[in-house]
Amino acid sequence: MTGEKPDVMLIGSKKPVIVGGLEPAVTLHHLFDAKDQDAFIKSLADKVRALAVAYTANKIDANFMQRFPKLDQISSFGVGYDHIDAKWAGEHGIIVTNTPDVLNEEVADTALGLLLCTIREFPQADRYVRAGKWAQAHYPLTKATLRNRTVGIVGLGRIGKAIARRLEAFGIPVVYHSRNPQPDAKYKYYPKLIDMARDVDTLMVIVPGGAATQNMVDRQVLEALGPNGILINMARGSVVDEPALIEALKTRKIYSAGLDVFANEPQVPKELLEMDHVVLFPHLGSSTEVTRAAMDQLVVDNILAWAAGKPPLTPVPETPYPPKRR
Ligand code: NAP
Ligand code: 8YV
């Protein structure tokens, strides 16, 4: 691309890495600055050639993309892109990019942290000390232990493998479920999630969100996991049937859960907030300054590559490069 700077719309807050990285190369329009976002989009729709999506709560569906007839590329923050209709984008010659790999280790660290917190009740123990209860009695021994558990990873992808490596170092047997076996994985593969849930006592969920995985952890899977079962959800709230999970926790059909994500976040069901045998994180898998900056930089680098007429760095599988001709 030569000559004039291309027009790019930023959807999300003005993060310094994104704004600083893009402004020298493109004309950036800030959707979140607009008092009337609809009118703002209308006034720019014919010019905008790329979107930088830094706020994943914005649904980028067919209706939204259709508003920009010259749209070439959507550079989205986060590895998950279930907020974008990537299939429609691919069919209409629009490339979607995400931010994979740069967050694998950070999210895997969080997953292990959440697992340990859930099993050993560390947040509850911290609350116990702060409440001044230690002087009266020791915190009770926890019934659950990581020792002798088997962890079934739901989705042995980039992050799932980083979690598996950590579990191995802890001496914990790992098995996994996904649609296809991973050729390079030495762990036992289960083609059916329900069969894996029956065989393990701990599920670590780290699949993409979206229609294909909607409620895949349902009542039957939770019952198969059993009364000693612990569910860790690092994926998306949509992957777990939340009412079924609440019921299973209330009736002790499973032992406990550690949740980083929720069906309607940032709203968390009152029933979960009132339970003391769950651990709840505010979707912080990747949220350190260094990792978020690396993710922001990849949002920038994908746009810069496009602006320079080069292939995208990290296109999603639904929108391979070169794009379908329009
Ligand atoms: P990835 O490398 O694409 O791995 C996804 C894995 O899920 C693959 O093993 C895939 O294998 C499996 N999978 C996909 N669809 C499936 C289905 N319908 N049924 C069963 N298995 C399925 O993705 P990643 O980079 O590891 O990221 C995974 C997800 O983690 C993201 O999409 C995001 O939603 C979530 N995430 C959460 C946080 C957080 O802060 N909590 C941070 C980062 C990512 P097959 O294709 O063989 O099925
Ligand atoms: C982000 C995530 O925090 O990358 C993902 O898929 O879930 C997280 O790393 C999230 O995208 C922010 O909205």
pLDDT at 2: 54
Listed residue (277, 276, 273) closest to 256, CA to CA: 277
259-286 as b/e: b if 16+ CB within 10 A? bbbbbeeeebeeebeebeebbbbebebb
Among the bound ligands, the one closest to the CA of 281: 1
DSSP codes joined into one string, 281-309: --S-TT-SHHHHHHHHHHHHHHHHHHHTT
Cα 212 to ligand 2 centroid, rounded to whole Å? 19
- The residue whose CA has the least distance to atom 40 of ligand 1 is 285
Within 10 A of 296 (CB to CB), how many other CB atoms are there? 23
301: left (phi over 0), alpha (psi -120 to 50) or beta: alpha
> Which DSSP category does 152 fall into?
E
- Paired residues of 153 in beta bridges: 176, 204
- The residue whose CA has the least distance to atom 47 of ligand 1 is 180
What domains does the chain contain, in order, with CATH numbers? 7-102+290-307 (3.40.50.720), 104-280 (3.40.50.720)
312: Cβ below 6 Å to ligand 2? no
Cα 207 to ligand 1 centroid, rounded to whole Å? 3
Q: Is this structure's pTM higher than 0.95?
A: yes
**Ligand 1, atom nearest to 286 Cα:** 40
**Blockwise average pLDDT, block size 10, the chain, 326 residues:** 85 96 97 96 97 89 97 98 97 98 98 98 98 98 97 98 98 98 96 98 98 98 98 98 98 98 97 98 98 98 97 98 86
261: Cβ below 6 Å to ligand 2? no
Q: Is it true that the peptide bond before 323 is cis, omega within 30 degrees of 0?
A: no
100: Cβ below 6 Å to ligand 2? no
Packing angle of the helix pair 158-169, 104-120 (nearest 10 deg): 50
Listed residue (246, 284, 245, 248) closest to 265, CA to CA: 284
Q: Is 312 helix (H, G, I), strand (E, B) or coil?
A: coil
Residues 79, 306: contact at Cβ < 8 Å?
Answer: no
Among the bound ligands, the one closest to the CA of 284: 1
Cα–Cα distance list, 144 to 120, 134, 164, 220, 313 (Å): 7, 21, 20, 22, 44
Paired tokens of 5: 């700077």
Q: Tell me the catalytic residues.
A: 236, 265, 283
